[in-house]
Structures are given as structure tokens and as C-alpha cells.
């Protein structure tokens, strides 16, 4: 929700976004909670802080790891680029790097596209939209998070790691443009069939064809407005996006 409201913060009240960023980063979760041993040394951001009028750890029924982790990285970047204030990045560079590594660890097929931690905020959507594995929406968000992290953390991160981030981003971009484009729209998913887990019930369902996997999805472009506000282009074909 705050990511979608971020253009307001950036235009009118960026100091409030800075306060929230520091608050969120203080509540990141250990990556192994989500990914087991593959998550060691990483961390992720869960959905929401507290509930109702209570501030605290996330208590939402499922975590939305990829979506919120990428959101946190992206918001830290656009706050820095919009204001010139590097305090959030400087104070939390190590944690931001661990968040990036979590996103890379969610890829299980080598494409860079997340296949784990993929349940998202669109919790009234179809299975394809809400918890499909290789989502174009989350692929774009992860692609952008990796790119901005390489720019934001360039002076505090080893060159080999920065190259890994950029290389992963390039693989995701290629997957989205090659497998995600359906002739006149980007599809919801990069895969036609698969085994999906409902995050509410924890039940698995095998789909020979996931209903709506190739439908148009407005959230493909969700990541782009805040980056457009700071002049950062993730490399998606703009004519296709339009």
C-alpha cells in the first residue's frame, strides 16, 4: 500500500517516507524463515507492521516476501534519488544488500525470476495473479530492485556481487520480454502449468493449465511510476508497456 502511495510522499512529504523506511528496516526477517538453508545470510520484509492500532511484527496470514522486499529496496532508492539524502542507504547498506540476496535466492530455475515467496498483496485475485510462481509483475519488481540496488550500493558492495546483481537483472529482463510478451500484452505468468500453493490454506494444487496465466495484468507496470519520477529506466520495451 505504501509503495503505491509513494508518489505522494516523493512529491509532497519525503521526510515521512524516510521515517517509515527506518521503521520497516528495523523489522526485517531472517531469510531462512522463508527459504530454509538457501535463505541463510539474507533477510526479507514481511507484509505490514502490526495490525489495526498495534505497531509490531507482521501478523498478516501470509508474508508476501518477494513483493515487500523489492518494495523496500525500491523505496530506499527513490527516496535517495529524489531528495539527495543518503542517510537511509548509509545506515542500512548491509541490510539492503541482504534483502537483495534474498530476492536472488527465491529463484530456483536459474532465470532470476522468483518462484518462492511469491504470494502478493492482490489477495482478492485469481490464483495466477495472487500466488502464481513465475509472475511477470514480481519479475519486473525484482528486476528493478536488483538494478537500483547495484546503483545505490555501488560504493559499499564488492564488484563481483554487483555484477551478479546486474547479470540476474539481465536474465529477468530477457525472460519477461521473450516469454512474457503475448503479442499485444505482457502475461500474468511466465509459465502455463505448474503446482501452486494457496497461501491462505497452505494446500497445493497441480494445474495442467493455470487459469488466466496469459491474461493481461495492469500490475506489470506497478513498479515504474516511482522510478519514472527519479529518471530511472529498467529497460522494458516502452512501446509494449504502453
What's the pLDDT tens digit per position in 16-28? 999 999 999 999 9
At residue 61, the pLDDT reads 82
Q: What is the mean pLDDT of residues 146-171?
A: 97
Q: What is the mean pLDDT of residues 126-148?
A: 97
The share of the chain scoring above pLDDT 90, in percent, equals: 91
Q: How far is CA 203 from the centre of its chain?
A: 24
Q: What is the mean pLDDT of residues 109-129?
A: 94
- 39, pLDDT greater than 90: yes
Q: Which residue has the cell 534483502?
A: 99
- Mean pLDDT, the chain, rounded, equals 95
Distance between first and last Cα of the chain: 24
At residue 57, the pLDDT reads 78
Instruction: Detail the DSSP E strand segments found in the chain.
Output: 29-30, 43-44, 194-197, 204-207
Strand partners, 111: none
8 Å CB contact between 187 and 180: yes
HEC states along 118-169? CCCCCCCCCHHHHHCCCEHHHHHHHHHHHHHHHHHCCCCCCHHHHHHHHHHH
Strand partners, 95: none
* Banded model confidence at residue 56, pLDDT cuts 50, 70, 90: confident
Question: For the whole model, what pTM was predicted?
Answer: 0.96
* Banded model confidence at residue 49, pLDDT cuts 50, 70, 90: confident
At residue 149, the pLDDT reads 98
* Banded model confidence at residue 52, pLDDT cuts 50, 70, 90: confident
The share of the chain scoring above pLDDT 70, in percent, equals: 100
Residues 6 or more apart whose CB falls under 8 angstroms from that of 187 comprise 136, 180, 181, 213, 214, 215, 216, 217
8 Å CB contact between 17 and 39: no
Amino acid at each position: 500500500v505504501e509503495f503505491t502511495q509513494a508518489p505522494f510522499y516523493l512529491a509532497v512529504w519525503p521526510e515521512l517516507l524516510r521515517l517509515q523506511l527506518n521503521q520497516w528496516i528495523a523489522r526485517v526477517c531472517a531469510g531462512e524463515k522463508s527459504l530454509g538453508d538457501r535463505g541463510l545470510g539474507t533477510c526479507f520484509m514481511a507484509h505490514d507492521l502490526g495490525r489495526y492500532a498495534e505497531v509490531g511484527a507482521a501478523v498478516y496470514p501470509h508474508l508476501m516476501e518477494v513483493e515487500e522486499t523489492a518494495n523496500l529496496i525500491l523505496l530506499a532508492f527513490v527516496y535517495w534519488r529524489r531528495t539527495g539524502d543518503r542517510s537511509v542507504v548509509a545506515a542500512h547498506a548491509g541490510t539492503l544488500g541482504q534483502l537483495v540476496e534474498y530476492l536472488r535466492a527465491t529463484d530456483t530455475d536459474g532465470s532470476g525470476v522468483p518462484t518462492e515467496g511469491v504470494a502478493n498483496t492482490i489477495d482478492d485475485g485469481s490464483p495466477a495473479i495472487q500466488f502464481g510462481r513465475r509472475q511477470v509483475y514480481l519479475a519486473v519488481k525484482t528486476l528493478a530492485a536488483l538494478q537500483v540496488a547495484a546503483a545505490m550500493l555501488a560504493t559499499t558492495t564488492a564488484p563481483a556481487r554487483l555484477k551478479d546483481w546486474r547479470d540476474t537483472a539481465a536474465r529477468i529482463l530477457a525472460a519477461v520480454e521473450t516469454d512474457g510478451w503475448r503479442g499485444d500484452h505482457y502475461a500474468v505468468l511466465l509459465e502455463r502449468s505448474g503446482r501452486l500453493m494457496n497461501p491462505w490454506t497452505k494446500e497445493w494444487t497441480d494445474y495442467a493449465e493455470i487459469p488466466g496465466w496469459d491474461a493481461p495484468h495492469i500490475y506489470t507496470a506497478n513498479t515504474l511510476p516511482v522510478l519514472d519520477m527519479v529518471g530511472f529506466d529498467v529497460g522494458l520495451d516502452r512501446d509494449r508497456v504502453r
